[in-house]
Each structure stands twice: as structure tokens, then as C-alpha cells.
Structure 1
Amino acid sequence: MIKFFRKIRQKTLTDNKFGKYLTYAIGEIVLVVIGILIALQINNSNETPKNKATEKQLLISLLQEFETNLEILDNTIETNTQIFKTCVKIGKFTGPLLPILNENELSQYMVRAFKYE
């Protein structure tokens, strides 16, 4: 096939038919461009399933991360709620109406309020 095109090219140049040679050269360029475009289309069609699989895996990972973060957030909210309730109880030991001071009870509240990170 290459010999065939080479013979056509040499024949047009030796016959001093530059217009025909130019037409041949443009045709050859068009064929190369069409070949490249076909190859790119095939490559894109092969890449699409790979991209979809990667996208699906990333979305699954994000969902798992969001679920884990939700659990951590729920635990943190629960812990902070307990700390708040304990701090309110500690606050009852201060103020104008002081109860009878029970050091043991106050100590337990202090530990509950400050033992969390």
C-alpha cells in the first residue's frame, strides 16, 4: 500500500503536475486526520466505562465517609449534652441559694464534666 502511494507521488512530481500532487497531499492529510479522529473516538469509548467505575467507587467511599462522620457527630453531640447537664448541676453549687455543700457529689460532677477530651 505504501509503495502504491509512493509511486503516485513520484509520478505526479516527475510529470510536473504540481496541482495534482497538491491535491494528493491534501487527500493524504485528510485520511491521516480521519484515522486519528477514529482512533480518538475508540479510545474515548473505551475510557468511558473505566471512568464510570472510578466515579462509582468514589461515590461509595464518600457515602461511607459521610456515614462515619455522622456517627462521630452524633457521639460528640451526646457527649457534649452530658457535659452540659453536668455543668448545670455544678452551677447549682454556686449562686445566691447555696445548697448544703456535698464535696463527694460536687467531685463526681466535676469528674463527669472534665473527663472528656
Structure 2
Amino acid sequence: MQVQYKIWLEKDHEQVFGEGLKNLLSAIKRLGSIRQAAAEMQMSYRHAWGHLRTAEKRLRMQLIVTKVGGETGGGTELTEEANILLERFERLENTLDPLIKDHFRRIFLD
């Protein structure tokens, strides 16, 4: 037996950040493209774009900056605020994971 859990952040009783947005922002950061990130996550560009817009509205902050194509090509970058949010969420996950697993072992397996 093992423990499974999900962590998400809420604001005004609405989910504003969770695993899906974390994965999307991480992929955008790594790939520099919403389209490539969406393809990697097997979701449509439209769904990814909608997910970002909904999150920005609920968080009341801009998460991405898009650059129009040209000689150097277009692309998408995370804002400083999005990078901070992503890093803090990952820190929270990395802090809670061993605690939850340790407590599970002590409560259920000892």
C-alpha cells in the first residue's frame, strides 16, 4: 500500500495553481513555445492557451510573455512572477512529499 496525494493552490475558493499548470509552465520554460509544450503534454494549443489565460485571470498576474516571429523566430517566456511561483510550488512539493510519505509509513505500516 502507498499514499497518493495532490497539492494545489486556491484563491477565492478557485484553484489557481496545480500539477497541470506546473507541468505546462515547466514545458514552456524548457521549450520556449506554448505550441511545443502543448504537443509534449498531448493537449491542444487552444486548451493550453485557455489554461494559461484562466490562471492569469485567477492569479491576477501575467505568467507568459510572447514574442512575435521574425528573423530570430517567435517564442514564449515565463515572466519573473511565473518563475517565482513555479519555483515556490516545486519547493512546497519537495518539502511535503517526504513528510507525507514518512507519516504514511508511521501511521499505516508500523
Q: Please confirm whether the aligned pair reaches a TM-score higher than 0.5, indicating the same fold.
A: no
Greater fraction helix: 1
Q: What is the TM-score with the length of structure 2 in the denominator?
A: 0.30
Greater fraction strand: 2
> With CA pairs under 8 Å and 6+ residues apart, which has the higher RCO, 1 or 2?
2
